[in-house]
Amino acid sequence: MTDKKKGNGPAKSIDPAALEMLEIAQERGISTMFSRVDEVSACPIGAEGACCKVCFMGPCRFIGKDKEEKHGVCGASLATVAARNYIRSCAGGASAHADHGRGIALALLAVARGETKDYRIKDPVKLRTVAGYFDIDTDGKDDLTLAEEVALAALHDFGRQDGYQTYVKRAPKKRQELWEKLGVTPRGFDREVVEAMHRTHAGTDQDADHIMDHAVRMCMADGWGGSMIATDLSDILFGTPKPLTSEANLGVLKEDEVNIIIHGHEPVLSELIVDAAQDPEMVDYAKSKGANGITLAGICCTANEIWMRRGVPPAGNSLHQELALLTGAVELMVADIQCVFQGLVGVAKNFHTHVVTTSPKARIEGATHIEFHEDRALEIAKQIVRMAIDNFPNRDRSQMHIPEHKNPVVAGFSHEYIRYMLGGSFRGSFVPLNDNIINGKIQGAAAIVGCNNPRATQDEGIVNLVRSFIQNDVLVLVTGCAAHAAGKHGYLTPEMFAHAGPGLSEVCETTGMPPVLHVGSCVDNSRILTILSGVVETGGLGDDIDQIPAVGISPEYYCEKALEIATYCVGSGAYVIFGGVESPVRASGVVTDIHTKGWEAKFGGKLEFIADWQGIFEAAMAHIQKKREALGIHEARERVLFDMADRRG
Ligand code: MSK
């Protein structure tokens, strides 16, 4: 795609709301990620994983055609350096997700112990299911007693010194046996990350293959541990998602209301901001300041959390965070952790907008810090909402521009709801899904997940892939900022079945299932692991995840969390393709081979980097067909009606 206004360079976005706001940024000379990306050139050595900074004899840079033959001062090969860089990135990503999970476990513990009165257990049925995973006896126990035991058991998994992550047993049996054989069954999360940092200290683990095996083990401690705990315990506290309608994109902001944007990742704060903003006392206070009410909107994964549980409209994905402030209509943006960029403060300075940070772990210079504590959760949430309302009279209407673009969306397809939707309330089931994959009406599934990256055209890869997959009878699941992209561009409605291929369209029309399912936030990629395990358990599509005709794709990845998710998915047997920007370890042919051939031989899954969405689509479809052939379901078969003799046979 070319940007006709600026010559032949790639367009910044395919989202008309983003393009509208970027014109304003350009007219007013306001710097955003979209402009800074042209000012800051990526270091070509670091970008391909060829710079070693693990000691102070260097940094050692591997350059030139013969770089794979060279060595650092200590003698390290490029393969060792690239593998160390890779696992350290994954350690950052896994830590972010798992620390989020730990935060939810601590919140559940505080609720159970009565240390906060502002939350309650919203899904007691799931509490009992999760207690079962942890082998906790539920008989005769009230919710709070059980919640305390579940929270303590979950917290124990982070720091456990012996045994494996509890949730490993949710994987297919064959997968568990493979992990055991390969010695990669994940142990306590903290242990795996500390070991990764230890192994990559100078002069420790210097075998690329061995380092990369540990990367898989560590990441799986998050995928089948930290993130899965975050998802389960969030459902217990805030409710297991069910489909809710809303609208997506910057057009959800309102000219005549106090606009508050919630940004970041953890639902612990955002849930209470929703409660505070809906409090009639707060709404009256907003009216006393001349506003017609209070509009809440979300950015990034916080948006996903409150979109799928409370119907709060999402204003956009990660590259929309600065653009939302450029509307001049946002009184306050409140953020907790992850993907909340320092550039926000620079944009906010041009308007009346307050940027408020809340996590004890994350401050931004120039932002107002109001620390969030669960024991005073609602009080603090109200303080923040009141601060936004007080700022409403300061809005300069001459500087305000809210794009009209928005689309209706339906979000909140937890794995529990998908089972219910397909099987009914008494016997939820994946059988209709498996049957329709086997009969070829659904060719397979594609999980399109992850971020935006300003080095790629915003939403282009995500949206084109979503469209192409459903047209070719591939069911699509979306999470994170990819879910925002699908929503902003109108793909998250049941009516989209009319744009799907004939087989998928028929299944969707019959079951009421949309062809693109919003599954949640970044930690909710763990829901996809649960769905894949459920598909295996249901039967007919092999006995392990690597046999399912499915792919995982992050078309516009930007962060360490995305790499970490890719790695636990590969360890679980999935074929994962990343796009937008190239492999961060491409300098090393050895590590590139580990990602592809090495991991495929060991885990049945692999990680590839393909820059353009067309290449990703072709590789994904070829993989789905390969898996269908291996299962013997690649050819359409006539339906055979069995008589009693056949059945006996
Ligand atoms: S927020 S990790 S940009 S998906 Fe989860 Fe979006 Fe990627 Fe952050």
| ∠ CA 528-529-533, rounded to 5° | 115
As a whole number of angstroms, the distance between CA 395 and CA 331 comes to 7
| Residue 216 placed within a domain | yes
Residue that finishes a domain, picked among 238, 256, 282: 238
Q: Are residues 284 and 217 in the same domain?
A: no
Q: Write the single-letter amino acid at 577.
A: I
Residue 630, classed as helix, strand or coil, is helix
Measured from the Cβ of residue 449, the count of other Cβ atoms closer than 10 Å reads 29
Q: Are residues 416 and 395 in the same domain?
A: no
Q: Are residues 105 and 182 in the same domain?
A: yes
Phi–psi pair at 294, nearest 5 degrees:
-125, 125
Q: Output the pLDDT for position 595.
A: 98
Question: For residue 447, which of 540, 596, 565, 338 has the smallest C-alpha distance?
Answer: 565
Taking the CA atoms of 582, 584, 585 and 587 in sequence, report the sign of the dihedral they define.
positive
Half-sphere exposure at residue 142, Cβ-oriented, CA atoms within 13 angstroms: 4
Q: Output the pLDDT for position 428.
A: 79
Which H or E run includes 613? helix 613-631
Atom of ligand 1 nearest to the CA of 521: 5
Across the 649 residues of the chain, what is the mean pLDDT of every consecutive 10-residue run? 47 95 95 95 94 96 95 97 98 97 96 95 97 96 97 97 96 98 97 98 97 98 97 97 96 98 94 96 98 97 95 97 98 96 97 97 97 94 98 96 96 93 79 94 97 96 98 98 97 93 94 94 96 96 97 97 98 97 96 98 98 97 97 76 71
Burial of 632 (0-12, 13-18, 19+ CB in 10 A): exposed
Q: Are residues 315 and 445 in the same domain?
A: no
Q: Are residues 287 and 325 in the same domain?
A: yes
CATH number at residue 269: 3.40.50.2030
Half-sphere exposure at residue 7, Cβ-oriented, CA atoms within 13 angstroms: 1
% helix, strand, coil for the chain, step of 5: 55, 10, 35
What is the β-pairing status of strands 51-52 and 60-61? antiparallel
Q: Does residue 89 contact residue 560 with C-beta atoms inside 8 Å?
A: yes
Ligand 1 centroid vs 300 CA: distance in angstroms?
Answer: 6
Residue that finishes a domain, picked among 376, 399, 422: 399
Testing ligand 1's pocket by substitution, the residue of 263, 317, 578 carrying the most ligand atoms inside 8 A of its CB is 317
Q: Output the pLDDT for position 171.
A: 97
Ligand 1 centroid vs 330 CA: distance in angstroms?
Answer: 21
Ligand 1 centroid vs 145 CA: distance in angstroms?
Answer: 34
| Residue 9 placed within a domain | no
Number of domains in the chain: 3
Ligand 1 centroid vs 449 CA: distance in angstroms?
Answer: 9
Which H or E run includes 199? helix 189-199
| ∠ CA 265-526-407, rounded to 5° | 55
| Residue 21 placed within a domain | no
Measured from the Cβ of residue 535, the count of other Cβ atoms closer than 10 Å reads 22
Q: Are residues 325 and 458 in the same domain?
A: no
| ∠ CA 461-219-447, rounded to 5° | 30
Q: Output the pLDDT for position 7.
A: 40
Q: Are residues 254 and 378 in the same domain?
A: yes
Atom of ligand 1 nearest to the CA of 522: 5
Residue with CA closest to ligand 1 atom 7: 451
Residue with CA closest to ligand 1 atom 8: 339
Testing ligand 1's pocket by substitution, the residue of 317, 451, 478 carrying the most ligand atoms inside 8 A of its CB is 451
| Residue 4 placed within a domain | no
Pocket of ligand 1 (CB under 6 A): 265, 300-301, 317-318, 339, 450-451, 480-481, 521-522, 559, 561-562
Dihedral (Cα; 47, 53, 54, 58), 10-degree rounding: 140
| Residue 32 placed within a domain | no
As a whole number of angstroms, the distance between CA 469 and CA 471 comes to 5
Q: Are residues 224 and 259 in the same domain?
A: no
Residues 6+ positions from 466 with CB-CB distance below 8 Å? 448, 476, 478, 485, 486, 489, 491, 516
DSSP states along 454-519: TTS-BTHHHHHHHHHHHHTTEEEEEEHHHHHHHHHTT-SSGGGGGGS-HHHHHHHHHH---SEEEE
Core vs surface per residue 87-100: b (16+ CB within 10 A) or e: bbbbbebbbbbbbb
Cis peptide before 59 (omega within 30 of 0): yes
Q: Output the pLDDT for position 646.
A: 73
Ligand 1 centroid vs 455 CA: distance in angstroms?
Answer: 15
As a whole number of angstroms, the distance between CA 101 and CA 47 comes to 30
Q: Output the pLDDT for position 2.
A: 40
| Residue 35 placed within a domain | no
Ligand 1 centroid vs 23 CA: distance in angstroms?
Answer: 25
| Residue 514 placed within a domain | yes
Q: Are residues 104 and 213 in the same domain?
A: yes
Q: Are residues 573 and 515 in the same domain?
A: yes
Residue with CA closest to ligand 1 atom 3: 451
Core vs surface per residue 345-366: b (16+ CB within 10 A) or e: bbbbebbbbbbbbbbeeeebee
Testing ligand 1's pocket by substitution, the residue of 317, 339, 340 carrying the most ligand atoms inside 8 A of its CB is 339
Q: Output the pLDDT for position 427.
A: 75
Residues 6+ positions from 439 with CB-CB distance below 8 Å? 633, 636, 637, 639
| Residue 261 placed within a domain | yes
Q: Output the pLDDT for position 6.
A: 43
Residue that finishes a domain, picked among 357, 383, 399: 399
Print the domain residue range for 150.
68-238
Q: Are residues 418 and 452 in the same domain?
A: yes
Token duo for residue 583: 């492999």
Testing ligand 1's pocket by substitution, the residue of 318, 321, 458 carrying the most ligand atoms inside 8 A of its CB is 318
Q: Does residue 49 contact residue 178 with C-beta atoms inside 8 Å?
A: no
Q: Output the pLDDT for position 425.
A: 63
Half-sphere exposure at residue 331, Cβ-oriented, CA atoms within 13 angstroms: 25
Atom of ligand 1 nearest to the CA of 479: 4
Ligand 1 centroid vs 645 CA: distance in angstroms?
Answer: 56
Q: Are residues 599 and 524 in the same domain?
A: yes
CATH number at residue 72: 1.20.1270.30
Testing ligand 1's pocket by substitution, the residue of 99, 266, 344, 522 carrying the most ligand atoms inside 8 A of its CB is 522
